[in-house]
Amino acid sequence: NILIDESNGECVHVDFDCLFDKGLTLEIPEQVPFRLTQNVIDGFGITGASGTFQRTCESVMQVLRSNRDTLMNVLYSFVHDPLVEWKDNPNDRAQQANEKMETIESRLRGQLGKSRMELPLSVPG
């Protein structure tokens, strides 16, 4: 769900319910973390997803990776003050939080799977 400001075209993501891979735990699990539909691509104009959108995504990923330690410190607050969904079983909440943090950190390193053996993905391309 995206909120679009009609006066200036700014977009804000407003659906924070599926953070931290929560979509994988739904009755019918999400297969992809983000759906870049043709309707969204059409809104990017003549360059489609290969123009400004791609360059912006690459720039954001470079900033996130270069500030990984700061970002992880902010996110680690969830380990000490877990999300409501993690409170169902208090014994497991620290473990669940730590697993999510490991997933986020490995993705910031460019690793998509559980294996630490794979090569990190580059930001461009």
Distance from C-alpha of 13 to C-alpha of 15, rounded to nearest angstrom: 6
Give first-to-last CA distance, the chain, whole Å.
Answer: 26
For residues 96 and 86, is the Cβ–Cβ distance under 8 A? Answer: yes
pLDDT for position 69: 92
pTM above 0.75, yes or no: no
Phi, psi of 11 (to 5 degrees): -115, 140
DSSP 8-state code for residue 3: E
pLDDT for position 46: 92
Per-residue pLDDT of the chain (125 residues; tens, 9 = 90+): 778 888 888 887 776 666 666 777 778 887 776 778 898 899 888 999 898 888 988 899 899 999 999 999 888 876 666 555 555 566 676 777 778 888 888 888 887 766 655 666 676 75
Element (H, E) at 12: strand 11-13
